[in-house]
A and B are shown apart, each in its own frame.
Chain A
Amino acid sequence: MAGKNVKKSFRPSKNLLFFAMVLPGLIWFALLCYLPMFGLVLAFKRFHFYRGGFFESLIHSQWVGLQNFYFLFSSHAAYIITRNTLLYNLAFIVLGTICAIAIAIALSELLNKKLAKVYQTLMFLPYFLSIIVVGYVLLSFLSVDKGSINHALMFFGFQPVNWYSNPGYWPYILVITNLWKNIGYTSIFYLAGVLAINKQFYEAADLDGASKWQQIWHITLPHLKPLIIVLVLVGIGQIFRADFGTFYWLPLNSGALFPTTNVIDTYVFRGLMDSGNVGMTAATGLYQSIMGLVLIVTVNKMIKKFDSENAMF
């Protein structure tokens, strides 16, 4: 048998190598995300069990078209829950981003680095607290007879407030609590972004006589722009989804507060909890996904017009 004398070096193409890099992720997506998506058809069916397993049941269940979606639009409450969901999420995105960036910059500028590390660690703690526990912590502040805030109010001669019966206060309470819980988490992204900015930019600006604020505005923020866009866009993609824990457990599931605390996810949970209608639950998820997709594509297109390099896709 004739042997090969010259061993040709195998140089895989660049794209093949890149493909090898995305391969593990691709397999993960395929198996854990895309494969189960056949189940989305549940949103259009009235699920009934048939002997043989999930597939059998799914195939034979009655097709009901868009019927499972009606309840999201038909009732009087539909407007309120949608409005609540959107407004809260908007507040979270805007305020959350601003505060997280502010904290990240502040932390990076602190002269005492050890103290900055301590602060950073502490700010993370709320993220780990179970939201149910936070609800009870809130109760210790807001309870009508035992809460510390009412005690303080009475001490100064004011009337105690029945916090859990008054929906008007809760947009503020919920936004502040949500910020408190999540800022530590979000600011980490921005902190890493700030730390990665090349010092030479600042040195040059300083030589030009720029003040600290000018440096932040002209150097730090523009460098953070791609990161901000990604995080904001992701938030927009989820804008029809409300964090269940925040809106269910923080108000302690108080009925009187529904006008300002009932959001799509809590409404669906309350309404479907007993009937266990899986079709309607699936329809809700699909509705939230589609709306998110529409929004994220639209906003991304708009960004592309102004700043095509930093658009997400």
Chain B
Amino acid sequence: MKNLIIRHKYFLIIFLLGFSLLSLSGCNNKTYPVGTPQNPYKIIWYQFGTPQKDLPMVQKKANEYLRKKIGAVLDIRMINPGDYNKKLNVIEISGEKFDLCFTAAWTNSYVRNAQRGAFYPLNKLMNKYGQGIKKTVNPYFLNGAKIDGELYAVPTNKEVGLQIRYVFNKKMLDKSGFSLNDFKPLAGVNTLKSIIPYFAYIKKHYPAIIPYGIDKTSSFITNKYTFIMGDSFIPGAVKFGKENYKVINQLDTKTYKEYYSVLHKMYQKGYIQSGAPQLQNMTSLMMTGKTAVEPGQYQPCAENVWANEYDYKVVTLPKFKPVTTNVMVEGAMTAISINAPRPDIDMKFLNLLNTDKYLRNLLQYGIEGMHYKKIGQNRIKFLPAHKSYIMYSFTLGNLFLTYLLPNDTSNKWQQFEKFNASSTPSQILGFHFDPTPVSSEYAAITNVVQQYQAGLFTGQMNYETYLPKFINALKNAGLKDFLAEEQKQLDAWVKKHKTSKAESLRHASKVVNRHNK
């Protein structure tokens, strides 16, 4: 034995040295667990937006704060809007490890990803670490975004009601001698009809101006129906209102037929640009002053925002009272990846982000004194360095925490709350259809819809000849089975939620009223 040790003494010395070195290096981390200020957890966050030059600087400042508060640091990776959906899809499916990502109904699809298990279920986590979120985020969001009773992403507190308004170029309107009072607000199709005399006037006196500026993406959103797939083009809707749970094909209803007819007449008279079905106007027509009226999705104080962009004032005419639908509730959310190593710390961070005014504004506007300066208790003004740090507000959580800008009205957020409170929730809020059992039909139907959509909704096609063809093609694509599956899933959901739904809605309106006091 002694010989053995002596013969291999050099080896043993090296071995012992190495071992002690290793244990020494691990010493620091061994005494401090992950998630503490001395050993902060790195949160990898895939964000939506162009990479900003000053992001590293702002992130560093935020990390100083976060390290102390929750023992974590951020690693924000920004992905360009044009690439975001595709890139996130690949990242998620390939199992790459990350913590947070932006998700919405319109990108990195919240519902699809939640249904296939890409996101971490949040109910338990939120109860434990996200109480702040539960208190501040409008319950419509929190309940409406639940899929089979489980929430899979934290919604951004913002406007929850969907309202379409007709936006008028004020200068043109004033010059023409018309006024908003000449038109009929809140009447759906009839609102549009009431504007026709104005269109005629514009067409006659300003031939270079397009009276009604829509392009091929134009859709018909009505508050008469609420859509199963959230997309107004895909067949499957129920009549908006209390206990309507019968699924129908909305594209073939009287309301829609009336709309097609009005649009077609308008197109023939030249109130809609003739290239509309091919055009996806990169520059908003309103912005270039080329159009008199344009439909727009409203949010409180939007007139100010739009006036800023368009360089002229606008006035708006609402088409219907605001409604709250699934799509609105899923407008902007942040999800935790199913593969996140420490979802608890992620939730702690999200809780902080949605309640801590300092952090929220730091990430939104940058560093005070550098990117902006304060001109009031809750109001700021941008400094020139601002252009090196521009972040989309909806990607960062609770909007109501952010500072006001010089052009905002003082009660901007209160107006949002009021708007939200006045918005009627759809009776199928929270129902999320899973098209997997009918994926063949869904693929075929989508193709048929895209074939006829632009022509019908820009008024180019005469619906009397084309609508029958459209409906026939839908039938051949499996419309019957598709609607039947939608009905089946809806019935199952209603059964499960009927009692608890009424309760949660009552609770929701109580909370909302509390907000308003």
CB of A119 within 8 Å of the partner chain: no
**A147 closest partner in B (C-beta):** B275
Instruction: State which of A57, A139, A165 has its C-beta within 8 Å of the C-beta of B95.
Output: A57
The answer to whether B440 touches A53, judged by C-beta atoms less than 8 angstroms apart, is: no
Question: B113, B275, B477: which has the most chain A beta carbons within 10 Å?
Answer: B275
Asked whether A256 is an interface residue with its Cβ less than 8 Å from the other chain, the reply is yes
Residues of A within 8 A of B436 (CB): 46, 275, 277
CA distance in complex: A281, B75 (Å): 32
A77 engages B477 (CB within 8 Å): yes
**CB 8 Å contact bits of B108-129 with A (1 = contact, 0 = none):** 0100110011100000000000
Known: A50-B117, A254-B454, A271-B446. A143 touches B275 (CB 8 A): yes
Would A54 and B93 count as touching, CB distance under 8 A? Answer: yes
A residues less than 8 Å from B446 (CB atoms): 270-271, 273-274
Interface size class of B (residues with CB under 8 A): 35 or more
Q: How many residues of A contact B (CB 8 A)?
A: 44
Q: Is the interface of B mostly helix, strand, loop or mixed?
A: helix
User: How far does the Cβ of B266 sit from chain A's closest Cβ, in whole Å?
Assistant: 16
Stretch at the interface among A67-75, A186-194, A210-218, A298-306: A67-75
**Is the CB–CB distance between A275 and B435 below 8 Å?**
yes
Contacts of B273 in A (CB 8 A): 145
Tell me if B29 is interfacial: C-beta within 8 Å of chain A: no
Complex Cα distance, B455 from A145, in Å, reads 16
Given A47-B116, A256-B451, are A165 and B277 neighbors across the interface (CB < 8 Å)? yes
Is A14 close to B, CB under 8 A? no
Q: Is B250 an interface residue (CB 8 A)?
A: no
Residue pair B117, A276 in contact (C-beta under 8 Å): no
Q: Of residues A46, A52, A70, A258, which shows the largest number of chain B Cβ atoms within 10 Å of its Cβ? A: A258
Judged by a CB distance under 8 angstroms, whether A272 is at the interface is yes
- Residue interface mask A258-299, B partner, CB < 8 A = 1: 100010000110111111111010000000000000000000
Flag if A76 contacts B444 (CB, 8 Å).
yes
Q: Does A117 reach chain B (CB closer than 8 Å)?
A: no
Q: Are B95 and A53 in contact (CB under 8 A)?
A: yes
Q: Are A55 and B95 in contact (CB under 8 A)?
A: yes
Q: Which residues of B contact A53 (CB under 8 A)?
A: 95, 339
Which residues of B lie under 8 Å from residue A262 when comparing CB positions?
447, 451
Shortest beta-carbon distance, B439 to chain A, in Å? 6
The answer to whether A65 has its CB under 8 Å from any CB of chain B is no
Contact of A77 among B94, B116, B447 (CB under 8 A): B447
Give how many A-B residue pairs fall within 8 Å (CB-CB): 121
CA distance A267 to B442 in the complex (A): 12
Tell me if A141 counts as interface (CB < 8 A to partner B): no
A145-B274, A145-B275 known; A71 and B444 CB under 8 Å? yes
A51 touches B478 (CB 8 A): no
Assuming A54-B94, A70-B440, A143-B278, is B476 touching A258 (CB within 8 A)?
no
Contact flags (1/0) for B446-478 with A, using CB distance below 8 Å? 111011111100001100000000000100111
How far apart are the CA atoms of A52 and B338 in the complex, in Å? Answer: 8
- Is B356 located at the chain interface by the 8 A CB criterion? no
Partner among A48, A145, A254, A271 whose Cβ is within 8 Å of the Cβ of B277: A254
In the complex, whether A146 has a CB less than 8 A from a CB of chain B is yes
Cβ-defined partner of A258 (8 Å) among B231, B435, B440, B447:
B447
Q: What CA separation (Å) do A144 and B229 show in the bound complex?
A: 34
User: Is B95 within 8 A of A77, CB to CB?
Assistant: no
Contact string, A133-166, partner B, CB cutoff 8 A, digits 1/0?
0000001000111100000000000000000110
Q: B residues 328-342 with Cβ under 8 Å of A? A: 338-339
Please measure, in the bound complex, the distance between the C-alpha atom of A267 and the C-alpha atom of B229, giving whole angstroms.
Answer: 20
Task: Give, as a whole number of angstroms, the nearest-CB distance from B172 to chain A.
Answer: 22
B255: Cβ under 8 A from any A Cβ: no
Bound form: Cα–Cα A70–B481 in Å: 15
- What is the minimal beta-carbon distance from B134 to any residue of chain A, in angstroms? 25
B57 within 8 A of A: no
Contact flag A252-B278 (CB < 8 Å), given A71-B439, A258-B451, A280-B439: yes
B16 on the A face (CB < 8 A): no
B176 in the interface (beta carbon within 8 A) = no
> Do A274 and B93 have beta carbons less than 8 Å apart?
no
* The one of A75, A256, A276 that contacts B440, using a Cβ cutoff of 8 Å: A75
Q: Separation in Å of the B234 CB from the closest CB of chain A?
A: 8
CB contact between B444 and one of A55, A77, A256 (< 8 Å): that residue: A77
Known: A46-B436, A76-B444, A143-B278. A276 touches B89 (CB 8 A): yes
Judged by a CB distance under 8 angstroms, whether A29 is at the interface is no
Q: How far is the CA of A238 from the CA of B339 in the complex (A)?
A: 38
Q: B443 near A256 (CB under 8 angstroms)?
A: no
Q: Which residues of A contact B116 (CB under 8 A)?
A: 47-49, 276
Interface contact B451-A51, CB-CB below 8 Å: no
- Inter-chain contact B443/A280, CB cutoff 8 Å: yes
A 164-176 binary contact with B (CB < 8 Å = 1; else 0): 1100000000000
Which residues of B approach A to under 8 Å, CB–CB? Answer: 89, 92-95, 109, 112-113, 116-118, 229, 231, 273-275, 277-278, 338-339, 435-436, 439-444, 446-448, 450-455, 460-461, 473, 476-478
User: 11 other contacts beyond A49-B338, A254-B277, with CB at 8 A cut-off?
Assistant: A48-B116, A49-B117, A54-B94, A164-B278, A271-B442, A271-B444, A274-B109, A275-B436, A275-B443, A276-B112, A276-B116
Binding site for B on A (CB under 8 A): 46-57, 70-71, 74-77, 139, 143-146, 164-165, 252-256, 258, 262, 267-268, 270-278, 280
